[in-house]
Structure 1
Amino acid sequence: MANRRWAGTELLRSLRSKLTVLYIEISDCVVDFFPSGQTAVVYLTESDILTLNDAKRRVAKLRKSRGVSHRVLYEKTAMTQQYFLDFQKIKVVDCKMDIFLVNSNREAGDYILKMAIQDQTPFRAKPGTCKNAPDPAILQAVMLLLGMV
Structure 2
Amino acid sequence: MERAAPGGIGPVHVPFGHIVANEKWRGSELAQGMQGKIKLVFEDDLTPVDFYLSSRSCILFVTEAELVAGNSYRKRLVRVRNSSNLQGIVIVEKTQMSEQYFSAMQKFTVLDLGMVLLPVASQMEASCLIIQLVQEQVKEPSSNPFLRNKRAQISEPSLLRTVQQISGVGKVKAPLLLQKFPSIQQLSNASVRDLEPVVGQAAAQQIHTFFTQPR
TM-score in terms of structure 2 length: 0.53
- Point out where structure 1 has 5 or more consecutive residues left out of the alignment: 125-145
Counterpart residue number, 1:106: 124
Counterpart residue number, 1:53: 71
In the alignment, structure 1 residue 9 sits paired with structure 2 residue 28 = yes
Counterpart residue number, 1:66: 84
The 5 A counterparts of 1:85-96 are 85-96=103-114
Counterpart residue number, 1:37: 55
Counterpart residue number, 2:38: 19
- Are 1:114 and 1:122, in contact at CA under 8 Å, matched by a contact in 2? no
Secondary structure, aligned partner of 1:112: helix
The residue type paired with residue 22 of structure 1 is V
The residue type paired with residue 73 of structure 2 is A
- Are 2:67 and 2:98, in contact at CA under 8 Å, matched by a contact in 1? yes
Distance apart, 1:90 and its partner CA: 2.1
The 5 A counterparts of 1:72-91 are 72-91=90-109
- Are 1:72 and 1:99, in contact at CA under 8 Å, matched by a contact in 2? yes
Distance 1:50 1:56 in 2: 13
Q: CA RMSD in A?
A: 2.2
Q: Once the two structures are superposed, what CA deviation does each residue of 1:9-60 show, in whole Å capped at 9, x if it has no partner?
A: 1221221211111112116x11111123332111111011112222112211
Counterpart residue number, 2:149: none
- Are 1:38 and 1:68, in contact at CA under 8 Å, matched by a contact in 2? yes
Q: Which has the larger radius of gyration?
A: 1
- Are 1:3 and 1:23, in contact at CA under 8 Å, matched by a contact in 2? yes
Change (3 A) 1:24 1:74: same
- Are 1:115 and 1:122, in contact at CA under 8 Å, matched by a contact in 2? no
Counterpart residue number, 1:140: none
Change (3 A) 1:113 1:5: same
Q: Once the two structures are superposed, what CA deviation does each residue of 1:83-131 show, in whole Å capped at 9, x if it has no partner?
A: 111111123311110000100111100111011122245716xxxxxxx
Counterpart residue number, 1:136: none
- Are 2:80 and 2:87, in contact at CA under 8 Å, matched by a contact in 1? no
Distance 1:115 1:122 in 2: 11
Distance 1:8 1:122 in 2: 32
Distance 2:51 2:132 in 1: 13
Secondary structure, aligned partner of 1:43: strand
Secondary structure, aligned partner of 1:42: strand
TM-score in terms of structure 1 length: 0.75
**How many residue pairs were aligned?**
126
